[in-house]
Amino acid sequence: MVMANLANCVRCDVLFVRGVRDVCPKCYQEIEKEYEKVAQFLRKRENRGSTIHQVSDATGVSVKQITRFIKDGRISVAGTPNLGYPCEQCGEPIRTGNMCESCMRSLKREINQQLDVDRRLSEEEQHKRNITYQRKKTLE
């Protein structure tokens, strides 16, 4: 007996038999139509200077979906100097990754600070264990 891999579409929440996509066939077709709208808009020379919000307004495709097209490599930012998508932390336009350089530096700084705190706490704990061990040895 073969079990169907059922899932809810991440876009419309309808139940469907899941294959390689996380969206139902209907939503997949809608996404493909949205892709074509965006791609056709950006193919026109006069639109290549557009921002993601201008592309969204002109095509009716959400910024979130256009961002997915860029991240998936379906829409290239190479020939479009102003096309970027929002940093997930601060919203500044970026062209690669999930965060802008400023947010990335801030995150790295926070991680390093936490690692320092963890290291100091570990050293203090080890020091306390050593003192306890030395006291037990002197009492024996």
- pLDDT interval class at 133 (50, 70, 90): low
Reported pTM:
0.72
> Is 105 among the domain residues?
yes
Work out the mean pLDDT of the chain and round it to a whole number.
90
Length of the chain equals: 140
> Is 73 among the domain residues?
no
> Is 11 among the domain residues?
no
> Is 118 among the domain residues?
yes
Task: Quote the domain boundaries for residue 124.
Answer: 100-140
> Is 12 among the domain residues?
no
Residue 79 burial class via C-beta count within 10 angstroms: exposed 0-12, middle 13-18, buried 19 and up:
exposed
Q: Which H or E element spans position 45?
A: none
> Is 58 among the domain residues?
no
Tell me how crowded residue 100 is: count the other CB atoms within 10 A of its CB. Answer: 20
> Is 59 among the domain residues?
no
- Say yes or no to pLDDT of 134 above 80: no
How many structural domains are present in the chain? 1
- Got the DSSP string for 85-117? EE-TTT--EESSSSS-HHHHHHHHHHHHHHHHH
